[in-house]
Amino acid sequence: MVQLRHLLIKKQMKLTSIQWANDTVNPHMGCAGCELFPSAAKFLTAIGNLLGELGIRINVRGLYSRLINEYYNRIACPQLGHRNALTTTNIWHLRNKFAAVISRLHGRPAGRRVLEVIEKTLVCYAAKLHLNRGANILEPLRKRNVGYAPTFEQLTRFPGRMQKAAQWEDLRECNDADKPWLKGLPRLIFVSDMGDSFSSKGQFDYIEKEMAAVSSENGQRHLWLWLSKRPHHMRSFSERIGGFPPNVCVMTTLTGPDTLQRVDELRKVNASSRGLSIEPLWERIPPESLDLTGINWVIVGGESGSRKAARPFEVAWAEELREHCRKHGVAFFLKQLGRNPVEKGKMLQLKNNHGGDWSEWPKRLRVREFPAYFRQYRG
Ligand code: SF4
């Protein structure tokens, strides 16, 4: 009987391949961007810097604007998401056209280098899905997936998704053979993997309404892992509502020492538990610079993506952060080694293309822990 129930629950599970959660839910799709989805201005600077290094003088902004204008004006009937503007989405979609002009004027190697820079600069997985499924001025007749934002930059509300998620089955008694480390935990729902609800303070009224699902009788059975790269907005929101409910773990992302200020902001969020997702880790974070006061959980991972574009991930960076967590009694979770893991100067060859299958790792690296609070908060 118990087995049958587990089978039924498994069938209903809206599984995510993300190792540290059971499911994901997105009250918003889209985002105002971050270092993984830079603004158009940052893209243009990166391209301009490269061309400068190659000794090519060109008005990058002017050339891109002309291309966008040309393709936009070909659309007979522009739809939601088609914009005649210098946006990151348009820069991405027209990257081959732009590179073709550079190749024609300055040779193919220069065009190739431009493409490489553009593809290396845009890393956000959620954005890439939007770029493939949202509006594209190059393919104006392509059907847009209505479950997505029209373009990634357009933060779009999807009311009711949290309410539905609250009704999902309780998983505390369920054992998922694919993720044995989740055993005995409540259902872990990753909120906002396809955008950032806290992109703007203008969303607070809406978020507050959606949050009712989290505190509802059904919602309290689950633990909601809410991630944002704008913990300062989370902080303001938590002050407005008198603190997040006890079944929300607030989280932020670090990619290297430049983003450490987010930890200080996260500490100020009024919440019962806090987590750091240090993924993709692009640059070593010296453990002594990572203050873990008030932090319950640390997730670490290397960058996914193509072999060419993903930055190398030194396994030693994860190991020293693991030891740092042990010293401070913080749960540590090694999510993945990334596309290009390096150990003692040698590239590790793994079958799993983002290095997320821990059966391929040396035993000492297989650490996937959760804060004790996650098991205890329900009593
Ligand atoms: S969804 Fe997250 S990773 Fe992607 S651009 Fe927004 S903040 Fe950055």
Domains of the chain: 2-32+156-376 (3.20.20), 40-133 (no CATH)
CA of 229 to the centre of ligand 1 (A): 7
Ligand 1 centroid to Cα of residue 38, in Å, is 9
Predicted confidence at residue 275, as pLDDT, reads 98
Query: Given its phi and psi angles, is residue 192 left (phi above 0), alpha (psi -120 to 50 degrees) or beta?
Result: left
Task: Determine the average pLDDT of the residues in 108-129.
Answer: 96
Tens-place pLDDT, residues 74-104 = 999 999 999 999 999 999 999 999 999 999 9
Q: Is 271 in the pocket of ligand 1 (CB under 6 A)?
A: no
Which tokens sit at 218? Answer: 């059904």
Query: Cβ(124) to ligand 1 under 6 A?
Result: yes
- The predicted-structure confidence for 13-52, as pLDDT tens digits, reads as follows 546 889 999 999 999 999 999 999 999 999 999 999 999 9
CA of 368 to the centre of ligand 1 (A): 24
> Residue 135: CB within 6 Å of ligand 1?
no
What confidence category does residue 2 fall into, taking pLDDT thresholds of 50, 70 and 90? very low
Q: Whose CA is nearest to atom 5 of ligand 1?
A: 33
* Contact by Cβ (8 Å): 100, 111: yes
- Which residue minimizes the CA distance to atom 4 of ligand 1? 124
Residue that has been written with the tokens 């010293």 in this structure? 327
Would you place residue 320 in the very low, low, confident or very high pLDDT band (cuts 50, 70, 90)?
very high
Judged against a pLDDT cut of 60, whether residue 4 lies above it is answered with no
Would you call the peptide bond into 312 cis, given omega within 30 degrees of 0 as the criterion? no
Q: Please give the number of the atom of ligand 1 that sits closest to the Cα of 127.
A: 4
In DSSP notation, 340-364 reads SEEETTEE---SSTTS--GGGS-GG
CA of 76 to the centre of ligand 1 (A): 32
| pLDDT at res. 152 | 97
Q: Ligand 1, residue 194: give the atom nearest the CA.
A: 1
CA of 89 to the centre of ligand 1 (A): 14
| Per-chain mean pLDDT for the chain | 95
Give tens-digit pLDDT for 174-209. Answer: 888 889 999 999 999 999 999 999 999 999 999 999
ipTM comes to 0.99
